[in-house]
Structure 1
């Protein structure tokens, strides 16, 4: 289990969406860019964000709820805007991104990179301490373009956020930052006591007003049964295919770092190996540049601008009165030899 990422919080094709469409500028309408009237033809839904901006999304909360138990959707968490762009272009159904209420720029950039994908902003466990702070953080997220927030809070704070009209996703099973309560970074729910605890926890989130729950590293069969017994949309990470959404980090899907990877992940590419090869090329490129400079082969005649005839004599005369014509001849000769 990778603990540096624990704060994160097809049914229909998305491949045909035109990513080149240019919406109106926000200052052309009091509520921002109007969503295109033909959005439904592109598999998108016209909506308005809680922040008051017109938008088009592949899903809304209602659509995701309506799909519960009917299909399995895909979800990832990109760590770069390039990953976010690629995820939307590929047709990933929903995205989660890290969100810091005190520094929302990174999440805002992710939102701009994938403007049509349902996106949940994940607020770190220790970013808030009270119900008022939770609601305020939720509003900041929604105004920044989130379609909902994801948290690791208890039912009390979830209820406060839900009562404020903010779609909130909870976190059950293995919650890495709270793993001291469950014996460390391990699978949770392999005893009847733990299984009942997870179920009761999810039901408490449901009663508090959450609309979804991320369930992490629990037995696959357990999540399958729990998902049948809750109204919450269940997002599975390391918990099998019994949930409504299958979630995996972008860096695991793309193989962005050196092994090992979590057992519950699969690497579909090896970008780490490719990046290592690119890094070798970077180093070699710099070394070749150093060699050329030291040997005098760079810059060559094709890389420089030659002075017009007579300019250097005029310059020397103006500077020190020497007018040494041979100096210009030497320069021209060296350039010709190079």
Structure 2
């Protein structure tokens, strides 16, 4: 029986009762794999959602497109963008812009997911790529950010690289659906990037990431095979081994004779 795509009401009803799964996927193949694997929620590039094939590949995935706020612009730009995403089949939109921008969208009944803790686009304010909320003061700032998002009308928030004790305590004290990226199991969903799970991330591996397959090695093997095949083609052309008789078409002798006579050839 096909899975039913969850609604906002469904997710609110299960808050605090179970952990859902969430992935950041970048391609149609990854989305289709997430669908078949039973993943619950995906974060996706807006252009993937706009692909006419997306919902055929991922009919039951709760899908959340997102861009960094500086890619979209003002609050009005966000509202226009969000309506476009909603029309294309988004279930919620990600927004790391201001609380006022979140409120602007929420006022139009657009389900918005905010971001607290380590926010990559704002990392300079919290000291770079490192945990946020390890002191009572900074933990309180994370809590206050959650309450601000709540007041703005957000539906949920990604909570990234926050101590597990802090994340769990906050989750118990907010109506927001919290998506844990490196913030432990006290939230409502566990969130990883597909590139980390598949082992294609060749840069820094976050502490919370877990590699389940080594696609990088397979890609390297395929690239080596690609180079080898191209090299063999070059060698065949240089040695006249390609094309062979089976790769070409020949003209019937009588037609060739008539053709050559017309062009004054032998």
Instruction: Identify the TM-score tier after normalising by the shorter chain.
Output: over 0.9
Aligned twin of 2:63: 119
**Structure 1 position 290, deviation (Å):** 1.1
**Structure 1 position 129, deviation (Å):** 4.2
The 1-side partners of 2:73 and 2:236 are apart by 59
1:1-338 correspondence to structure 2 within 5 Å: 41-44=1-4, 58-99=5-46, 105-109=47-51, 111-112=54-55, 113-320=57-264, 322=265, 324=266
Structure 1: stretches of 5+ with no match in the other structure: 1-40, 45-57, 100-104, 325-338
Partner-residue secondary structure (3-state), 1:116: coil
Q: Scaled by the length of structure 1, what TM-score is found?
A: 0.75
Given that 1:223 and 1:242 are in contact with CA atoms closer than 8 Å, whether structure 2 keeps it comes out as yes
Given that 1:123 and 1:149 are in contact with CA atoms closer than 8 Å, whether structure 2 keeps it comes out as no
Q: Which has the larger radius of gyration?
A: 1
The 2-side partners of 1:43 and 1:121 are apart by 21
The 2-side partners of 1:260 and 1:184 are apart by 14
**Structure 1 position 91, deviation (Å):** 1.0
The 1-side partners of 2:78 and 2:231 are apart by 52
Given that 2:167 and 2:187 are in contact with CA atoms closer than 8 Å, whether structure 1 keeps it comes out as yes
CA root-mean-square deviation: 1.5
Given that 1:111 and 1:119 are in contact with CA atoms closer than 8 Å, whether structure 2 keeps it comes out as no
**Structure 1 position 226, deviation (Å):** 1.0
Structure 2: stretches of 5+ with no match in the other structure: none
What do the CA deviations read for 1:136-176 (whole angstroms, capped 9, x no partner)? 22111111211111110222111111110100111000111
The 2-side partners of 1:201 and 1:249 are apart by 24
Q: Scaled by the length of structure 2, what TM-score is found?
A: 0.94
The 1-side partners of 2:150 and 2:25 are apart by 27
Given that 2:182 and 2:208 are in contact with CA atoms closer than 8 Å, whether structure 1 keeps it comes out as yes
**Structure 1 position 217, deviation (Å):** 0.6
